[in-house]
Amino acid sequence: MDLTFNKREDHNKLLLSKLRNKLNEVYLGGGKKRIDAQHSKGKLTARERIDYLLDDKKPAIEIGALTGDGMYKEHGGCPSGGVVVKIGYISGKQCIVVANDATVKAGAWFPITGKKNLRAQEIAMENKLPIIYLVDSAGVYLPMQDEIFPDKEMFGRIFRNNAIMSSMGITQISAVMGSCVAGGAYLPIMSDEAMIVDKTGSIFLAGSYLVKAAIGEDIDNETLGGATTHCEVSGVTDYKAKDDKDALDRIKSIVGKIGDFEKAGYNRIQSAQPALDEKEIYGILPESRAEQYDMYEIINRIVDNSELDEYKPDYGKSIICTYARIDGWAVGIVANQRKIVKSKKDGMQFGGVIYSDSADKATRFIANCNQKKIPLVFLQDVTGFMVGSKSEHGGIIKDGAKMVNAVSNSVVPKFTIIVGNSYGAGNYAMCGKAYDPRLIAAWPSAQLAVMGGEQAAKVLFQIKEASLKSQGIEVDEVKKQELLSEITAQYNDQTSPYYAAARLWTDGIIDPLDTRKWISMGIEAANHAPIEKQFNLGVIQV
């Protein structure tokens, strides 16, 4: 290996080490003291509950581990959004599990908590996956109630989704393992089956203090809404469990008896590892997002046997379109080529830029994958569409619109991996979050923004400078550099994959070596939901 490879490898392994350290912090939730307090009550933590519930030695992926990272500092933070979400296997069946983390503000719902719960339900609905709720929450975080309570994509949408999923025949099972109060009480009771843990679980619309204040009644929480009350008196819950493990064992038993599902029928054969070493990805990805590299070298270390069946290899070279297999599943890959390529039509084409011929090729390829019922995988490292008079006169907007149209109307499941840049309209055309990928993950090397940091900082500085001058404030060279550095640092922080993951613009930041697992488990989930629509591009300008 050459020196460049070694330097790149060291850089990317440092990024991965940062990710692992950050995740280890997040896994502690509200901290060791609160974990100990949870244990002292005879309760498992949210992560311990999920680990006990999911099958050993089976793969699992966590959705939104870094949700809330760096947010709500004035409120003490909200690690993982106060809720843990994983896709894994229970009694051999793929499910999604949602567990409130009572070590984070007693499991209270922040605005980002609601967004993450809705994302989990969205995954369940899109893929018709059974969903398990492990409830242990004090309800809405009152200091921020105006940001979580009344709007469409907020707290109430969760119960609406409970009802919609029930009508879709999607299995929902709840275990009340701690507090379950006020509006949150509807979630377990709108599930198909609900159980409650004796002495630690409670369900009520208003706790004993509020009951006393509202109607003057003196009653303790256990009598008001404990396991005995709801299993023997109200009939609100279906089963009483003696402790956390007993409740989780019952869930395993119930899920184990669920019948088979109608499959979408995506093609799968025996899995094979890539012929080329996956770990070499670390040495291929450059340190700078501006540097060139060959995307084929990445693809060949992700797909089975490193075998590609490429579509139009000599046309539209700034986008690679190829059929391949990942963990045995047939996939269609759309990837940005990041090295400069030669085009007979346009001459030299810059890496990471979408040209008219590339957009045209990708549109046709996406249509082909829809016709053949082949899931799509987008590998993003894109700076945007080509600009300038030649591109404009050549109809780049029209060709770009066709590609966006094809991505938007695609009916096969889509999966997006952000390898490097994800800028502007390139993010859209390459199936960014707004275009409904079933899963979207970023590598530690990713950057998401409307444009690159250097260009954006200059534009923002010009606006700031004009504003200061309008106030009669002159900007000398020292002040200029100071402002530019400040703006660049702020903008770069916002392009970080951590900023995006905190806000659920992606489902998480992953080790590149986990890419195959995410895509494979994603397609397996999608296979639960047969396609119900025909692929139709609607009206497009040709």
Cα–Cα dist 403/116, whole Å: 29
Spelled out in words, what is the top-level CATH class assigned to the domain 31-256? alpha beta
Query: What is the reported pLDDT for 341?
Result: 82
User: What is the H or E stretch that residue 334 is in?
Assistant: strand 329-336
Q: Between β-strands 329-336 and 319-326, what pairing exists: parallel, antiparallel or unpaired?
A: antiparallel
Cα–Cα dist 342/188, whole Å: 59
Q: Between β-strands 384-385 and 439-442, what pairing exists: parallel, antiparallel or unpaired?
A: unpaired
Best CA proximity match to 194, nearest among 138, 145, 239: 239
Cβ–Cβ contacts within 10 Å for residue 202, how many?
23
pTM above 0.85, yes or no: yes
Query: What is the reported pLDDT for 20?
Result: 98
Best CA proximity match to 28, nearest among 77, 93, 97, 61: 77
Q: Give the pair of three-digit tokens for residue 255.
A: 């899920």
**CA separation, residue 241 to residues 105, 225, 328 (Å):** 25, 15, 41
Query: What is the reported pLDDT for 394?
Result: 65
Best CA proximity match to 99, nearest among 122, 120, 130, 71: 120
Q: Is residue 153 a contact partner of residue 161, using CB atoms and an 8 Å limit?
A: no
Residue 95 φ then ψ, to 5°: -140, 165
Cα–Cα dist 511/526, whole Å: 22
Domains 31-256 and 278-446+506-528 share a fold: yes
Query: What is the reported pLDDT for 541?
Result: 62
Q: Which fold has domain 278-446+506-528?
A: 2-enoyl-CoA Hydratase; Chain A, domain 1 (3.90.226)
Query: What is the reported pLDDT for 454?
Result: 66
pLDDT along the chain (542 residues), means of 10: 91 98 97 96 97 97 97 96 98 98 94 96 98 93 86 89 96 95 81 95 85 87 90 93 98 97 96 98 94 96 98 95 98 95 73 90 97 98 81 75 95 98 93 97 93 67 76 77 76 89 97 98 98 84 60
436 contacts: CB under 8 Å, gap ≥ 6: 126, 414
Query: What is the reported pLDDT for 456?
Result: 64
Query: What is the reported pLDDT for 77?
Result: 95
Can you give the residue ranges of every domain in the chain? 31-256, 278-446+506-528, 452-495
What three-state secondary structure class fits 503? coil
